[in-house]
A = this chain, B = another copy of it.
Amino acid sequence: MVSEIIGGDMNSPGEADIEPVLNEPVPLRIHHVHGDPRAVLDQVLRDHLHRRLRRVEATDAEFAAGTAAQTVAFTLAGGKRLRSALAWWGWRAGGGPVSGPVAQHALAACASLELLQTCALVHDDVMDGSQTRRGVPCVHRVHEAEHREHGWSGEDRRYGESLAVLVGDLALAWADDMLSGALPGVPRPEEGREVWREMRTEMIAGQFLDVRGQATRSRSESLALRIDLLKTASYTVERPLHLGAAMAGAPPAVIEALRSYGRDVGVAFQFADDLAGAYGDSRATGKPVGDDLREGKTTLLLALGTRIAREEGDAQALELLERVGSGADTAEAAAALERLGAADRVREHCRGLAARGAAHLDGVELPEPVHTHLADLARRIGEGV
């Protein structure tokens, strides 16, 4: 399952005192981060967000207890810290230190990706009209229900979605704030900033194409790949690695290898996610199975299946797949995609891309355990489908 792909236990690293980020008066006990960084990233994020929340209480207590607290809770509650961990591996690939004040700033910069992810998820859920996320009701559904229960004025849906838009906006602003507070402490702040700039725009571009493809019921393989490249590969793998490496001052060859790895493995990751969405276990994905098909997302799986059905003159399957997103039975559609061989083709592509991604790393010298970890990640993605 994709949710388990980054797997492994979080480590319990040793501790050492270190300077707090943002010149704030709360000292954070921080670690030498030699192995898996996720536990430390989580701690850095938690510490930062709790300090931020305390400051917001002075702005407005109702807001602090509302949108601000919810932004913090959502960010801390779930997530696999995939993006921030990859940024950290990029940092280490670039030769960044694993302890001391510079490492502390790098950890904060990496962790800021999790706030960006909060924005992406909460806004995406509004755009998809989703019901659940990580196994619990989406932010907009929570507020929609709150509105209904209190019998408040206006429309419950609009209220719920408005509050979710605000949670996403706050997360996006706070992501920038967290990054901006951390960058001055790393070796190459301007290089990191440049990657950040590209990444956010690419993330929004990917979401735009996703929404548009769904509306136009596009079955274009090339559009599906553009979405996968922008929305997943860039934003989830390539740019996080790039961000970490760039702010450490990695040599161009290392950055190029990491980015090539990120594009291939990122697209493979999306293929695995598409397959899990169609055939997986909702306990593992945290989303109802079949959601992508129900919503008519432009995925390579669906685009390929449609092309095969057309090429083979399978009018019944073609008709069914064209109705995906507007009433087709999702289990039936998933079965058709399997029967047509589209699912197997996507599995093959996924494995091929994961292997090619890992191979990009062979041309450069990466410190351990960076190389092992990234190669393992690619392998797990390839083997998981």
Residues of A within 8 A of B (CB): 56, 59-60, 62-63, 66-68, 119, 123, 126-127, 129, 147, 150, 152-155, 158-159, 161-163, 165-166, 168-170, 172-174, 176-177, 180, 184, 190, 193, 197-198, 200-202, 204-205, 207-209, 211-212, 214-217, 226, 230, 295-296, 325-326
Contact = CB atoms under 8 A, between A and B. Distances in A.
A62 B212 CA distance: 10
Nearest to A146: B215
Nearest to A178: B197
How many identical chains are in the complex? 2
B202 A59 contact: yes
6 contacts: A62-B212, A127-B162, A153-B215, A163-B211, A165-B168, A173-B204
A123 B201 contact: no
A336 B170 CA distance: 38
B165 A123 contact: yes
Given A209-B63, A214-B154, A325-B154, A162 B197 contact: no
A265 to B, nearest CB: 20
B163 A66 contact: no
Given A197-B177, A217-B153, A162 B126 contact: yes
Tell me which of A56, A153, A177, A198 has the highest count of chain B C-beta atoms within 10 A of its own C-beta: A153
B204 A169 contact: yes
Given A152-B215, A153-B215, A201 B56 contact: yes
B209 A180 contact: no
B59 A205 contact: yes
Contacts of A56: 201, 205
A195 B253 CA distance: 39
Contacts of A126: 161-162, 165
A344 to B, nearest CB: 27
A209 B61 CA distance: 11
B59 A170 contact: no
Contacts of A180: 176, 180, 193, 197
Given A165-B126, A201-B170, A209-B63, A153 B193 contact: no
Nearest to A218: B153
Contact of A209 (B62, B154, B177): B62
Given A127-B158, A177-B197, A163 B208 contact: yes
